Amino acid sequence: MYLSKLFIPITKDLPAEAKIKSHQLMLRTGMIKQSSAGIYSWLPLGFKVMKKIEQIVREEQNLIGAQEMLMPTIQSSEIWKESGRYDDYGEEMLRIKDRQGREILYGPTNEELITDVFRTSVKSYKLLPQLLYHIQWKFRDEIRPRFGVMRCKEFYMKDAYSFDLSDEDAKKSYNKMFYSYLKTFNRLDLKAIPMAADTGPIGGDLSHEFVILADTGESDIYADKNIFEIDLNRYKFDDSSLQKMREDFTKVYAVTDEKFKKEEFNKLVKKENQIITKGIEVGHIFYFSDKYSKPMNCLIDDKSGKKTSVKMGSYGIGVSRLVGAIIEAKYNNDIMKWPESIAPFKVVIIPSISKNNKENLEKAIKIYQELKKQNIDVLLDDVDENMSNKFKKHDLIGIPYQIIVGAKSDDDNFEFKEVNNTSQILSLDKIKSKLKN
């Protein structure tokens, strides 16, 4: 892609309405554009990052045997009355009347709807366990939307649901998701801490939130740094190993400010292991047993033929929120560097272009064509602008590698730079092999 063709409305001004750095960066680099309060369009750069995050989430869900489906955004109020949440949910639920006066709503979450799908589809224990998920837009009518995609009204979320015959089996499903979440955040190059959490309006008695570290996070985090020493590769994908994994994580001290007690922290965690930092919640998992299946009559025949309410959990990851959260974690000292797994492009070629000399641009085009042949996702900055402005712009766009075609390059060697590292002069072959790794 040539930068001059990319639909990327970059603005030089710091947008006044944006209070946090992810919101600022996303507006400045044309990743998003606000369409109304708390509602955004995702422009090509932002869209590409979000889709890559979505794909990693999807792959990790598939790997634990979860099946993808898709529930609609608009739901009938009927099922929410069955569960008893229609009146409880409060004003964040966007309630709508259709042209025939029927009460419908824009789903803020999908426990009721998935329970309705399940109760008409599965009747026998033989089909259990089941893990189903979808990735869909949801709506929360925030009274004061702010912080860009971090607290907006229309947001993109993966939510999964587990169905088991017994509480014991259900906890095995819970552990699989716990494992999948940690793997997902690893692939996004994030340091994620699972923390025992309150269940809020979803309900249930077992819940963890997954918090990633970011200096600018919304919650204060107090943890034992040993939590980062636990190696996921130690565990096998079987029930007892995954149970051990959850116990190992849960044993290490890690709490948000709500549960923090200073004496306890000092007693349980050695001074040199204490981490006090900030974090952002990017995932939340819940086990709530028959909280929905019971009132909604979602029954399964057990081995003896007796009907029993299916045992359920739900598991969310904020996909659009992650775009902002990753910026909060990775954008430091005015330089952004996207994790390679989700970078909008792998490498950008930045030629020094002047009115009377297009030689560097021609060289850059040749490199571009070479990299394209190797299926490397490359951006060519063919915009006629001085190098100092270009560098500032790419500090924000955050493509992890740069090839600079200017004074330091000759016919065969070019300046190659990994963001946040010093540059090297390398042959194109060396550059190619570095990028292929």
Using DSSP's 3-state secondary structure scheme, residue 92 falls into coil
Residue 211, H or E segment: strand 206-213
Nearest to 109, CA basis, from 158, 142, 146:
158
Judged by CB under 8 A, the residue of 19, 88, 137, 335 near its own copies is: 137
- 201 is a contact residue toward its own copies (CB under 8 A): no
Other beta carbons within 10 Å of 88: 10
Other beta carbons within 10 Å of 293: 23
By CB under 8 A, the residues from 145 to 164 that bind its own copies are: 153-154
Looking up tokens 């065969």, which residue turns up?
Answer: 412
> Cα–Cα distances in Å, from 302 out to 263, 310, 377?
48, 10, 52
Whose Cβ is closer to its own copies: residue 105's or residue 285's? 105
What minimum distance in Å lies between the beta carbon of 353 and its own copies? 15
- 388 is a contact residue toward its own copies (CB under 8 A): no
Q: What is the largest CA-CA distance in the chain?
A: 85
- 380 is a contact residue toward its own copies (CB under 8 A): no
Judged by CB under 8 A, the residue of 94, 177, 190, 353 near its own copies is: 94
Judged by CB under 8 A, the residue of 14, 143, 229, 231 near its own copies is: 143
Phi, psi at residue 29, to the nearest 5°? -95, 10
What minimum distance in Å lies between the beta carbon of 241 and its own copies? 21
Contact region with its own copies (CB under 8 A), list: 121-129, 307-315, 347-355, 417-425: 121-129
What minimum distance in Å lies between the beta carbon of 142 and its own copies? 9
Distance separating alpha carbons of residues 360 and 357, to the nearest angstrom: 7
- 39 is a contact residue toward its own copies (CB under 8 A): yes
- 108 is a contact residue toward its own copies (CB under 8 A): no
Distance separating alpha carbons of residues 154 and 141, to the nearest angstrom: 8
- 333 is a contact residue toward its own copies (CB under 8 A): no
In this structure, are residues 157 and 135 in contact, taking their beta carbons and an 8 Å threshold?
A: yes
Judged by CB under 8 A, the residue of 122, 202, 367, 404 near its own copies is: 122
In this structure, are residues 342 and 184 in contact, taking their beta carbons and an 8 Å threshold?
A: no
Whose Cβ is closer to its own copies: residue 130's or residue 360's? 130
**382 Cα distance to chain centroid:** 31
- 139 is a contact residue toward its own copies (CB under 8 A): yes
- 65 is a contact residue toward its own copies (CB under 8 A): yes
Whose Cβ is closer to its own copies: residue 176's or residue 246's? 176
Contact region with its own copies (CB under 8 A), list: 65-73, 183-191, 200-208, 346-354: 65-73
**3 Cα distance to chain centroid:** 26
Nearest to 74, CA basis, from 98, 50, 54:
98
What minimum distance in Å lies between the beta carbon of 429 and its own copies? 29
Distance separating alpha carbons of residues 183 and 194, to the nearest angstrom: 12
- 120 is a contact residue toward its own copies (CB under 8 A): yes
**Helical spans, DSSP H, in 252-398:** 262-268, 319-330, 359-373, 387-397
Judged by CB under 8 A, the residue of 83, 130, 314, 402 near its own copies is: 130
In this structure, are residues 217 and 161 in contact, taking their beta carbons and an 8 Å threshold?
A: no
Residues touching its own copies, count (CB under 8 A): 55
By CB under 8 A, the residues from 6 to 25 that bind its own copies are: 6-7, 9
- 247 is a contact residue toward its own copies (CB under 8 A): no
Strands (DSSP E) along 140-174, which ranges?
154-164
Residues near its own copies (CB under 8 A) are 4-7, 9, 30, 33, 35-36, 39-44, 47-48, 50, 65, 67-76, 78, 91-92, 94, 96, 98-100, 104, 106, 113, 116-117, 120-122, 126-127, 130, 132, 137, 139, 141, 143, 153-154
